[in-house]
Amino acid sequence: MQEFDLVLKNAFVNGAYVADIGVKGGIITALGLNLSPTEDTQIIDCEKAIVTPGGIDGHVHLAQDQSPRAKEAGYRCADNVETGTRSAVAGGTTTVMLFAEQSRGQSLLEAVENYHALVASQGSYADYGFHAIITDPSEKVLQEELPVLAQQGIMSMKLFLTYKHMRISDHQFLHALLKARELGMIALVHAENGDLVDFFTEQLEARNLTDSKYKAIAHPSAAEAEATNRAVTFSTVMDTPLLIVHVSVPESAKVIRKAQANLQPIFAETCPQYLLLGKAKLDQEHFCGAKFICSPPLRSEKKDIDAIWRGLVNGTFNIFSSDHCPYRFEDPSGKQLGLTRADNGNPQGMFTKTPNGLPGVETRVPLLFSEGVLRRKCIDVKRFVELTSENPAKLYGMYPQKGAIQIGSDADLVIWHPESFTPRRLKHSRDLHDNCDYSPYEDIEFLNWPKITVLRGRVVFRDGVVQGRSGYGNFIKRGKCAMPVVRVMEQEWDVLHAAV
Ligand code: URP
Ligand code: ZN
Ligand code: ZN
Ligand code: ZN
Protein backbone atom coordinates (compact mmCIF):
# COMPACT_ATOMS: atom_id res chain seq x y z
CA MET A 1 0.00 0.00 0.00
CA GLN A 2 1.25 3.50 -0.82
CA GLU A 3 2.05 5.73 2.15
CA PHE A 4 1.40 9.45 2.14
CA ASP A 5 2.46 12.39 4.30
CA LEU A 6 -0.52 14.37 3.06
CA VAL A 7 -3.70 13.55 1.17
CA LEU A 8 -5.94 16.23 -0.29
CA LYS A 9 -9.32 14.50 -0.51
CA ASN A 10 -11.95 15.52 -3.07
CA ALA A 11 -9.87 18.08 -4.90
CA PHE A 12 -11.48 19.63 -7.99
CA VAL A 13 -8.15 19.50 -9.84
CA ASN A 14 -7.73 22.57 -12.07
CA GLY A 15 -11.53 22.83 -12.11
CA ALA A 16 -11.54 19.78 -14.42
CA TYR A 17 -12.09 16.57 -12.40
CA VAL A 18 -12.41 15.44 -8.80
CA ALA A 19 -9.64 13.29 -7.31
CA ASP A 20 -7.57 12.76 -4.21
CA ILE A 21 -3.99 14.03 -4.34
CA GLY A 22 -1.43 11.93 -2.46
CA VAL A 23 1.85 13.53 -1.38
CA LYS A 24 5.02 11.91 -0.12
CA GLY A 25 8.32 13.66 0.53
CA GLY A 26 6.99 16.91 -0.92
CA ILE A 27 6.10 15.29 -4.26
CA ILE A 28 2.73 14.32 -5.72
CA THR A 29 2.91 10.53 -5.76
CA ALA A 30 -0.71 9.61 -6.49
CA LEU A 31 -3.80 11.06 -8.13
CA GLY A 32 -6.88 8.91 -7.87
CA LEU A 33 -10.14 8.07 -6.20
CA ASN A 34 -10.32 7.05 -2.54
CA LEU A 35 -6.61 7.14 -1.73
CA SER A 36 -6.10 5.47 1.65
CA PRO A 37 -4.33 7.52 4.29
CA THR A 38 -2.40 5.81 7.07
CA GLU A 39 -2.38 6.85 10.71
CA ASP A 40 0.30 9.52 10.23
CA THR A 41 -1.14 11.02 7.08
CA GLN A 42 -2.32 14.59 7.28
CA ILE A 43 -5.70 14.86 5.56
CA ILE A 44 -7.23 17.97 4.07
CA ASP A 45 -10.76 17.49 2.80
CA CYS A 46 -11.15 19.94 -0.08
CA GLU A 47 -14.91 19.25 -0.33
CA LYS A 48 -14.65 19.55 -4.10
CA ALA A 49 -13.05 22.97 -3.88
CA ILE A 50 -10.94 23.98 -6.88
CA VAL A 51 -7.26 23.08 -6.47
CA THR A 52 -4.67 24.69 -8.73
CA PRO A 53 -0.88 24.41 -8.86
CA GLY A 54 1.02 26.89 -6.69
CA GLY A 55 1.44 30.22 -8.42
CA ILE A 56 4.75 31.07 -10.05
CA ASP A 57 5.44 34.77 -10.17
CA GLY A 58 7.93 35.33 -12.97
CA HIS A 59 8.73 38.92 -12.05
CA VAL A 60 9.46 39.91 -8.44
CA HIS A 61 11.91 42.54 -7.20
CA LEU A 62 12.99 41.91 -3.60
CA ALA A 63 15.90 43.46 -1.71
CA GLN A 64 17.15 44.89 -4.97
CA ASP A 65 18.28 48.00 -3.14
CA GLN A 66 21.52 46.24 -2.25
CA SER A 67 23.06 46.61 -5.70
CA PRO A 68 25.63 49.42 -6.01
CA ARG A 69 23.36 51.26 -8.47
CA ALA A 70 20.35 51.19 -6.18
CA LYS A 71 22.45 52.16 -3.17
CA GLU A 72 23.69 55.19 -5.02
CA ALA A 73 20.13 56.22 -5.87
CA GLY A 74 19.24 55.89 -2.18
CA TYR A 75 16.08 53.83 -2.71
CA ARG A 76 14.99 51.44 0.00
CA CYS A 77 12.79 48.52 -1.15
CA ALA A 78 9.89 47.89 1.19
CA ASP A 79 10.39 44.15 1.05
CA ASN A 80 13.35 41.99 1.77
CA VAL A 81 13.24 38.34 0.76
CA GLU A 82 11.57 37.26 3.97
CA THR A 83 8.66 39.71 3.88
CA GLY A 84 8.20 39.55 0.12
CA THR A 85 8.00 35.76 -0.01
CA ARG A 86 5.82 35.64 3.10
CA SER A 87 3.45 37.84 1.16
CA ALA A 88 3.78 35.57 -1.91
CA VAL A 89 2.65 32.39 -0.15
CA ALA A 90 -0.24 34.26 1.48
CA GLY A 91 -1.50 34.99 -2.04
CA GLY A 92 -1.09 31.48 -3.42
CA THR A 93 2.35 31.94 -4.97
CA THR A 94 4.85 29.21 -4.13
CA THR A 95 7.72 30.12 -6.47
CA VAL A 96 9.11 33.56 -7.26
CA MET A 97 11.58 34.62 -9.90
CA LEU A 98 13.84 37.30 -8.41
CA PHE A 99 16.35 39.60 -10.08
CA ALA A 100 20.09 39.50 -9.44
CA GLU A 101 21.26 42.83 -10.78
CA GLN A 102 24.65 43.55 -12.25
CA SER A 103 25.90 47.12 -11.95
CA ARG A 104 27.97 48.50 -14.80
CA GLY A 105 31.59 47.47 -14.46
CA GLN A 106 30.72 44.72 -12.00
CA SER A 107 31.29 41.03 -12.66
CA LEU A 108 27.95 39.34 -13.35
CA LEU A 109 29.04 36.28 -11.40
CA GLU A 110 29.90 38.43 -8.42
CA ALA A 111 26.53 40.19 -8.62
CA VAL A 112 24.71 36.85 -8.67
CA GLU A 113 26.83 35.38 -5.87
CA ASN A 114 26.18 38.44 -3.69
CA TYR A 115 22.46 38.21 -4.32
CA HIS A 116 22.44 34.46 -3.67
CA ALA A 117 24.09 35.06 -0.29
CA LEU A 118 21.66 37.86 0.53
CA VAL A 119 18.61 35.74 -0.30
CA ALA A 120 19.96 32.84 1.76
CA SER A 121 20.70 35.12 4.73
CA GLN A 122 17.23 36.69 4.66
CA GLY A 123 15.45 33.37 4.16
CA SER A 124 12.65 32.68 1.72
CA TYR A 125 9.18 31.32 2.44
CA ALA A 126 8.76 30.40 -1.23
CA ASP A 127 10.93 28.52 -3.70
CA TYR A 128 12.86 30.87 -5.93
CA GLY A 129 15.01 31.26 -9.01
CA PHE A 130 16.99 34.19 -10.42
CA HIS A 131 16.94 36.20 -13.61
CA ALA A 132 20.32 37.83 -14.21
CA ILE A 133 19.98 41.53 -15.03
CA ILE A 134 22.78 42.34 -17.44
CA THR A 135 23.67 46.02 -17.64
CA ASP A 136 27.20 45.51 -18.92
CA PRO A 137 27.38 42.70 -21.48
CA SER A 138 31.15 42.74 -21.87
CA GLU A 139 33.03 40.03 -23.74
CA LYS A 140 33.96 38.46 -20.39
CA VAL A 141 30.37 38.50 -19.15
CA LEU A 142 29.00 36.92 -22.31
CA GLN A 143 31.73 34.43 -23.12
CA GLU A 144 32.93 33.40 -19.65
CA GLU A 145 30.35 34.28 -17.03
CA LEU A 146 27.02 33.49 -18.67
CA PRO A 147 27.95 29.85 -19.38
CA VAL A 148 28.74 29.46 -15.67
CA LEU A 149 25.36 30.87 -14.74
CA ALA A 150 23.66 28.50 -17.16
CA GLN A 151 25.40 25.59 -15.44
CA GLN A 152 24.11 26.90 -12.12
CA GLY A 153 20.56 26.76 -13.44
CA ILE A 154 20.16 30.50 -13.97
CA MET A 155 18.63 30.26 -17.42
CA SER A 156 17.21 33.72 -18.00
CA MET A 157 18.54 37.25 -18.38
CA LYS A 158 16.79 40.60 -18.28
CA LEU A 159 17.92 43.32 -20.66
CA PHE A 160 16.85 46.95 -20.53
CA LEU A 161 16.33 49.32 -23.46
CA THR A 162 15.68 52.19 -21.08
CA TYR A 163 16.90 53.58 -17.72
CA LYS A 164 20.20 55.47 -17.91
CA HIS A 165 22.15 53.14 -15.62
CA MET A 166 20.85 49.91 -17.03
CA ARG A 167 20.16 50.17 -20.71
CA ILE A 168 22.24 48.47 -23.33
CA SER A 169 22.79 49.48 -26.94
CA ASP A 170 21.19 47.67 -29.87
CA HIS A 171 24.57 46.21 -30.72
CA GLN A 172 24.97 44.84 -27.20
CA PHE A 173 21.41 43.55 -27.32
CA LEU A 174 22.22 41.52 -30.45
CA HIS A 175 25.32 40.05 -28.81
CA ALA A 176 23.34 39.09 -25.72
CA LEU A 177 20.67 37.43 -27.86
CA LEU A 178 23.26 35.46 -29.78
CA LYS A 179 24.69 34.17 -26.51
CA ALA A 180 21.23 33.40 -25.15
CA ARG A 181 20.59 31.35 -28.27
CA GLU A 182 23.80 29.39 -27.82
CA LEU A 183 23.15 28.63 -24.15
CA GLY A 184 19.41 28.02 -24.49
CA MET A 185 18.69 30.88 -22.12
CA ILE A 186 15.59 33.02 -22.43
CA ALA A 187 16.05 36.79 -22.65
CA LEU A 188 13.52 39.10 -21.03
CA VAL A 189 13.39 42.63 -22.31
CA HIS A 190 12.13 45.85 -20.78
CA ALA A 191 10.99 47.42 -24.01
CA GLU A 192 10.79 51.20 -23.82
CA ASN A 193 12.81 53.54 -26.01
CA GLY A 194 15.08 55.22 -23.44
CA ASP A 195 15.93 58.23 -25.60
CA LEU A 196 12.29 58.94 -26.25
CA VAL A 197 11.46 58.71 -22.55
CA ASP A 198 14.45 60.90 -21.63
CA PHE A 199 13.47 63.47 -24.25
CA PHE A 200 9.89 63.72 -23.03
CA THR A 201 11.08 63.84 -19.43
CA GLU A 202 13.49 66.68 -20.21
CA GLN A 203 10.75 68.63 -21.99
CA LEU A 204 8.34 68.19 -19.09
CA GLU A 205 10.98 69.22 -16.55
CA ALA A 206 11.80 72.33 -18.58
CA ARG A 207 8.12 73.29 -18.24
CA ASN A 208 8.07 72.43 -14.55
CA LEU A 209 5.53 69.67 -15.19
CA THR A 210 6.86 67.15 -12.70
CA ASP A 211 3.89 65.91 -10.64
CA SER A 212 3.21 62.19 -10.59
CA LYS A 213 0.57 62.45 -13.31
CA TYR A 214 3.23 63.52 -15.85
CA LYS A 215 4.87 60.13 -15.51
CA ALA A 216 2.32 58.80 -18.01
CA ILE A 217 3.23 61.54 -20.49
CA ALA A 218 6.96 61.01 -20.05
CA HIS A 219 6.57 57.39 -21.14
CA PRO A 220 4.42 57.63 -24.28
CA SER A 221 2.92 54.44 -25.66
CA ALA A 222 5.02 55.01 -28.79
CA ALA A 223 8.18 54.53 -26.70
CA GLU A 224 6.96 51.10 -25.69
CA ALA A 225 5.67 50.17 -29.16
CA GLU A 226 8.89 51.22 -30.89
CA ALA A 227 11.12 49.29 -28.51
CA THR A 228 8.85 46.25 -28.69
CA ASN A 229 9.00 46.31 -32.47
CA ARG A 230 12.79 46.60 -32.35
CA ALA A 231 13.11 43.77 -29.85
CA VAL A 232 10.82 41.54 -31.93
CA THR A 233 12.86 42.35 -35.03
CA PHE A 234 16.10 41.45 -33.27
CA SER A 235 14.66 38.23 -31.92
CA THR A 236 13.63 37.28 -35.46
CA VAL A 237 17.04 38.11 -36.88
CA MET A 238 18.75 36.10 -34.15
CA ASP A 239 16.15 33.31 -34.33
CA THR A 240 16.08 33.39 -30.55
CA PRO A 241 13.11 33.30 -28.17
CA LEU A 242 12.40 36.56 -26.40
CA LEU A 243 9.98 37.55 -23.70
CA ILE A 244 8.63 41.08 -23.65
CA VAL A 245 7.87 41.86 -20.03
CA HIS A 246 5.24 44.12 -18.45
CA VAL A 247 3.45 44.98 -21.71
CA SER A 248 1.05 47.84 -21.13
CA VAL A 249 -0.15 49.17 -24.49
CA PRO A 250 -2.28 47.79 -27.34
CA GLU A 251 0.31 48.91 -29.91
CA SER A 252 2.85 46.53 -28.38
CA ALA A 253 0.33 43.72 -28.02
CA LYS A 254 -0.43 44.08 -31.72
CA VAL A 255 3.24 43.81 -32.74
CA ILE A 256 3.62 40.75 -30.51
CA ARG A 257 0.48 39.08 -31.84
CA LYS A 258 1.57 39.59 -35.40
CA ALA A 259 4.97 38.06 -34.68
CA GLN A 260 3.34 35.11 -32.94
CA ALA A 261 1.02 34.60 -35.91
CA ASN A 262 4.16 34.37 -38.05
CA LEU A 263 5.44 31.70 -35.65
CA GLN A 264 8.24 33.91 -34.37
CA PRO A 265 9.34 32.81 -30.89
CA ILE A 266 7.96 35.84 -29.07
CA PHE A 267 6.45 35.52 -25.61
CA ALA A 268 4.81 38.23 -23.60
CA GLU A 269 3.96 39.11 -20.03
CA THR A 270 1.46 41.52 -18.63
CA CYS A 271 0.70 42.47 -15.05
CA PRO A 272 -2.38 43.21 -12.92
CA GLN A 273 -1.74 46.97 -12.90
CA TYR A 274 -2.21 47.19 -16.69
CA LEU A 275 -5.54 45.36 -16.49
CA LEU A 276 -7.05 46.93 -13.42
CA LEU A 277 -5.62 50.42 -12.87
CA GLY A 278 -5.71 53.49 -15.11
CA LYS A 279 -3.55 56.60 -15.25
CA ALA A 280 -6.16 58.67 -13.38
CA LYS A 281 -4.67 57.05 -10.25
CA LEU A 282 -1.55 59.17 -10.79
CA ASP A 283 -3.54 62.37 -10.44
CA GLN A 284 -4.35 62.52 -6.72
CA GLU A 285 -3.99 65.07 -3.98
CA HIS A 286 -1.31 65.00 -1.26
CA PHE A 287 1.20 63.28 -3.51
CA CYS A 288 -0.85 60.04 -3.35
CA GLY A 289 -0.45 59.58 -7.10
CA ALA A 290 3.16 58.58 -6.35
CA LYS A 291 1.84 55.30 -4.99
CA PHE A 292 1.00 54.39 -8.59
CA ILE A 293 4.26 55.36 -10.28
CA CYS A 294 5.76 52.47 -12.19
CA SER A 295 7.42 51.85 -15.56
CA PRO A 296 5.83 51.42 -18.01
CA PRO A 297 3.25 53.75 -16.45
CA LEU A 298 -0.45 53.13 -15.98
CA ARG A 299 -2.28 53.87 -19.22
CA SER A 300 -5.62 55.39 -20.29
CA GLU A 301 -8.75 54.21 -18.69
CA LYS A 302 -10.73 52.04 -21.07
CA LYS A 303 -9.46 51.45 -24.59
CA ASP A 304 -5.94 50.37 -23.64
CA ILE A 305 -7.04 48.30 -20.70
CA ASP A 306 -9.63 46.41 -22.77
CA ALA A 307 -6.97 45.60 -25.35
CA ILE A 308 -4.69 44.16 -22.67
CA TRP A 309 -7.58 42.02 -21.39
CA ARG A 310 -8.15 40.76 -24.93
CA GLY A 311 -4.48 39.84 -25.20
CA LEU A 312 -4.76 37.89 -21.97
CA VAL A 313 -7.75 35.95 -23.25
CA ASN A 314 -6.58 35.34 -26.81
CA GLY A 315 -3.15 34.02 -25.87
CA THR A 316 -0.95 37.00 -26.83
CA PHE A 317 0.18 37.09 -23.22
CA ASN A 318 1.71 33.85 -22.06
CA ILE A 319 2.32 34.81 -18.46
CA PHE A 320 0.79 37.08 -15.86
CA SER A 321 3.31 38.38 -13.31
CA SER A 322 3.19 40.98 -10.58
CA ASP A 323 6.34 43.06 -11.21
CA HIS A 324 6.23 43.42 -7.43
CA CYS A 325 8.56 46.32 -6.71
CA PRO A 326 7.38 47.91 -3.47
CA TYR A 327 8.37 51.23 -1.94
CA ARG A 328 6.66 52.45 1.19
CA PHE A 329 4.66 55.61 0.66
CA GLU A 330 5.62 57.18 3.99
CA ASP A 331 9.30 56.24 3.82
CA PRO A 332 11.79 59.11 3.16
CA SER A 333 13.81 56.52 1.19
CA GLY A 334 10.66 55.24 -0.53
CA LYS A 335 8.05 57.16 -2.50
CA GLN A 336 8.70 60.33 -0.45
CA LEU A 337 12.01 60.74 -2.29
CA GLY A 338 9.86 62.25 -5.03
CA LEU A 339 8.27 64.91 -2.85
CA THR A 340 10.21 68.16 -3.02
CA ARG A 341 9.56 71.86 -2.39
CA ALA A 342 8.87 74.27 -5.22
CA ASP A 343 10.57 77.69 -5.24
CA ASN A 344 7.53 79.17 -3.46
CA GLY A 345 7.85 76.58 -0.67
CA ASN A 346 4.84 74.53 -1.74
CA PRO A 347 5.21 70.74 -1.89
CA GLN A 348 5.86 69.50 -5.41
CA GLY A 349 5.95 65.98 -6.79
CA MET A 350 8.94 64.98 -8.91
CA PHE A 351 8.16 61.83 -10.83
CA THR A 352 11.81 61.47 -11.88
CA LYS A 353 12.90 61.19 -8.25
CA THR A 354 10.09 58.87 -7.18
CA PRO A 355 11.12 55.21 -7.06
CA ASN A 356 9.37 53.16 -9.72
CA GLY A 357 7.20 50.24 -8.83
CA LEU A 358 4.08 48.84 -7.21
CA PRO A 359 3.58 46.07 -4.67
CA GLY A 360 1.52 43.10 -5.85
CA VAL A 361 3.09 39.68 -5.25
CA GLU A 362 0.30 38.72 -2.84
CA THR A 363 -2.63 40.08 -4.83
CA ARG A 364 -1.58 38.80 -8.30
CA VAL A 365 -3.12 35.31 -8.20
CA PRO A 366 -6.29 36.25 -6.28
CA LEU A 367 -6.85 39.23 -8.59
CA LEU A 368 -6.81 37.11 -11.73
CA PHE A 369 -8.98 34.44 -10.16
CA SER A 370 -11.43 37.04 -8.92
CA GLU A 371 -11.50 39.37 -11.93
CA GLY A 372 -10.77 36.97 -14.79
CA VAL A 373 -12.39 33.69 -13.74
CA LEU A 374 -15.21 34.82 -11.45
CA ARG A 375 -16.26 38.39 -12.25
CA ARG A 376 -15.66 38.86 -15.99
CA LYS A 377 -15.70 35.12 -16.68
CA CYS A 378 -13.41 35.79 -19.66
CA ILE A 379 -10.94 33.05 -18.73
CA ASP A 380 -11.56 29.58 -17.34
CA VAL A 381 -9.56 27.86 -14.62
CA LYS A 382 -7.41 26.12 -17.24
CA ARG A 383 -6.29 29.44 -18.75
CA PHE A 384 -5.85 30.93 -15.27
CA VAL A 385 -3.48 28.06 -14.42
CA GLU A 386 -1.54 28.55 -17.66
CA LEU A 387 -1.06 32.25 -17.03
CA THR A 388 -0.19 32.11 -13.35
CA SER A 389 1.75 28.85 -13.07
CA GLU A 390 2.09 26.41 -15.97
CA ASN A 391 3.49 28.81 -18.59
CA PRO A 392 5.96 30.54 -16.25
CA ALA A 393 7.19 27.04 -15.28
CA LYS A 394 7.63 26.08 -18.94
CA LEU A 395 9.14 29.39 -19.98
CA TYR A 396 11.64 29.42 -17.15
CA GLY A 397 12.64 25.76 -17.36
CA MET A 398 10.93 24.41 -14.23
CA TYR A 399 8.18 22.31 -15.81
CA PRO A 400 6.86 19.79 -14.76
CA GLN A 401 8.65 20.00 -11.41
CA LYS A 402 6.62 23.16 -10.97
CA GLY A 403 3.43 24.39 -12.64
CA ALA A 404 1.57 21.09 -12.77
CA ILE A 405 -0.62 18.81 -10.67
CA GLN A 406 0.88 15.56 -11.89
CA ILE A 407 2.54 12.53 -10.39
CA GLY A 408 6.19 13.47 -9.89
CA SER A 409 5.59 17.23 -9.62
CA ASP A 410 6.33 19.18 -6.46
CA ALA A 411 3.23 19.29 -4.28
CA ASP A 412 2.73 23.04 -4.64
CA LEU A 413 -1.01 23.52 -4.41
CA VAL A 414 -3.62 26.19 -3.82
CA ILE A 415 -7.11 25.45 -2.53
CA TRP A 416 -9.94 27.83 -3.39
CA HIS A 417 -13.48 27.91 -2.06
CA PRO A 418 -15.32 30.31 -4.37
CA GLU A 419 -18.74 29.31 -3.05
CA SER A 420 -18.17 29.97 0.63
CA PHE A 421 -16.12 33.17 0.33
CA THR A 422 -17.68 36.50 1.25
CA PRO A 423 -16.60 39.14 -1.29
CA ARG A 424 -14.64 41.94 0.32
CA ARG A 425 -12.23 44.79 -0.16
CA LEU A 426 -8.67 44.56 1.07
CA LYS A 427 -7.29 46.64 3.85
CA HIS A 428 -3.53 46.63 3.60
CA SER A 429 -2.75 46.66 7.31
CA ARG A 430 -5.28 43.94 8.06
CA ASP A 431 -5.02 41.60 5.10
CA LEU A 432 -1.60 41.66 3.48
CA HIS A 433 1.71 40.20 4.59
CA ASP A 434 4.29 42.33 2.79
CA ASN A 435 6.16 45.22 4.36
CA CYS A 436 4.71 47.95 2.18
CA ASP A 437 2.27 50.45 3.67
CA TYR A 438 -0.40 50.40 0.98
CA SER A 439 -1.86 48.25 -1.77
CA PRO A 440 -2.83 49.70 -5.16
CA TYR A 441 -5.82 47.34 -5.14
CA GLU A 442 -7.64 48.52 -2.02
CA ASP A 443 -10.60 49.74 -4.12
CA ILE A 444 -11.22 46.36 -5.69
CA GLU A 445 -13.67 43.86 -4.28
CA PHE A 446 -12.11 40.39 -4.20
CA LEU A 447 -14.53 37.58 -5.01
CA ASN A 448 -12.17 34.93 -3.70
CA TRP A 449 -8.83 34.35 -1.99
CA PRO A 450 -6.75 31.18 -1.54
CA LYS A 451 -7.86 29.29 1.54
CA ILE A 452 -4.78 27.09 1.77
CA THR A 453 -1.36 27.23 0.10
CA VAL A 454 0.84 24.12 0.14
CA LEU A 455 4.54 24.23 -0.78
CA ARG A 456 6.25 20.88 -1.34
CA GLY A 457 3.64 19.13 0.76
CA ARG A 458 3.66 21.60 3.65
CA VAL A 459 0.81 23.93 4.48
CA VAL A 460 2.40 27.39 4.39
CA PHE A 461 -0.77 29.50 4.49
CA ARG A 462 -4.21 28.73 5.86
CA ASP A 463 -7.28 30.90 6.46
CA GLY A 464 -5.45 34.19 6.35
CA VAL A 465 -2.47 33.06 8.44
CA VAL A 466 1.04 32.31 7.17
CA GLN A 467 2.18 29.01 8.68
CA GLY A 468 5.41 28.46 6.82
CA ARG A 469 8.81 29.64 7.92
CA SER A 470 11.42 31.68 6.14
CA GLY A 471 14.29 29.52 4.98
CA TYR A 472 12.00 26.67 3.85
CA GLY A 473 12.10 28.03 0.30
CA ASN A 474 14.64 26.38 -2.00
CA PHE A 475 16.68 27.74 -4.87
CA ILE A 476 15.41 26.12 -8.08
CA LYS A 477 18.05 25.11 -10.57
CA ARG A 478 16.37 25.54 -13.93
CA GLY A 479 16.71 23.99 -17.35
CA LYS A 480 16.01 25.29 -20.83
CA CYS A 481 12.80 27.03 -21.83
CA ALA A 482 10.17 24.38 -22.55
CA MET A 483 7.61 26.54 -24.35
CA PRO A 484 7.09 25.20 -27.84
CA VAL A 485 8.81 27.29 -30.49
CA VAL A 486 9.03 26.89 -34.21
CA ARG A 487 12.36 27.79 -35.67
CA VAL A 488 11.95 29.60 -38.99
CA MET A 489 15.51 30.38 -39.84
CA GLU A 490 16.17 32.40 -42.95
CA GLN A 491 18.81 31.10 -45.30
CA GLU A 492 21.05 34.14 -44.91
CA TRP A 493 21.28 33.65 -41.15
CA ASP A 494 22.25 30.00 -41.37
CA VAL A 495 25.82 31.16 -41.97
CA LEU A 496 25.86 33.08 -38.72
CA HIS A 497 24.15 30.43 -36.63
CA ALA A 498 26.08 27.53 -38.13
CA ALA A 499 29.14 28.89 -36.37
CA VAL A 500 27.39 28.91 -32.98
O1 URP B 1 8.24 50.21 -12.18
C2 URP B 1 8.77 49.13 -12.24
N3 URP B 1 8.32 48.22 -13.07
N4 URP B 1 9.83 48.85 -11.49
C5 URP B 1 10.55 47.68 -11.53
C6 URP B 1 11.67 47.71 -12.50
C7 URP B 1 11.27 47.20 -13.84
O8 URP B 1 11.56 47.83 -14.83
O9 URP B 1 10.68 46.12 -13.95
ZN1 ZN C 1 29.96 43.17 -32.14
ZN1 ZN D 1 11.25 46.37 -16.40
ZN1 ZN E 1 10.20 44.69 -12.96
Whole-Å CA distances, 422 to 243, 369, 380, 449:
37, 14, 21, 10
With cut-offs at 50, 70 and 90, classify the pLDDT of residue 336: very high
Q: Is 295 a pocket residue for ligand 1 (Cβ < 6 Å)?
A: yes
pLDDT at 65: 86
Residue 442 has a pLDDT of 97
Separation of 417 CA from ligand 1 center, angstroms? 33
- Ordered domains of the chain (ranges, CATH): 55-371 (3.20.20.140)
349: confidence class by pLDDT, cuts 50, 70, 90: very high
Q: Average pLDDT of the chain?
A: 95
Are the CB atoms for 104 and 448 separated by under 8 Å? no
171-217: pLDDT as tens digits:
999 999 999 999 999 999 999 999 999 999 999 999 999 999 999 99
Give the residue from 50, 97, 58 showing the smallest Cα distance to 382.
50
- Does the beta carbon of 167 sit less than 6 angstroms from any atom of ligand 1? no
Kindly report the pTM of this predicted structure: 0.97
**407, pLDDT greater than 70:** yes
Identify the CA nearest to 294 among candidates 192, 164, 445, 195.
Answer: 192
pLDDT of residue 468: 85
The mean per-residue pLDDT over the stretch 303-316 comes to: 96
Query: Ligand 1 within 6 A of 190 CB?
Result: yes
pLDDT for res 138: 98
pLDDT at 301 over 80: no
Q: Would you say residue 95 has pLDDT above 70? A: yes
Measure 297 CA to ligand 1 centroid, in angstroms: 10
Give the model confidence (pLDDT) of 312-334 as tens digits. 999 999 999 999 999 999 999 99
Query: What is the Cα–Cα distance from 279 to 98, expressed in whole angstroms?
Result: 27
Tell me the per-residue pLDDT of 240-282, one tens digit each, with 9 for 90 and over: 999 999 999 999 999 999 999 999 999 999 999 999 999 999 9
ipTM: 0.96
273 Cβ closer than 6 Å to some ligand 1 atom: no
In the predicted model, is pLDDT for residue 227 greater than 90? yes
Mean pLDDT on 283-303: 94
Confidence of residue 495 (pLDDT cuts 50, 70, 90): low
What would the mean pLDDT of 7-13 be, rounded to a whole number? 98
Is-contact 472 113, C-beta < 8 A? no
Identify whether the C-beta of residue 225 lies closer than 8 Å to the C-beta of residue 231. Answer: no
> What's the gap in Å between 174 CA and the centre of ligand 4?
21
Instruction: Say yes or no to pLDDT of 491 above 60.
Output: no
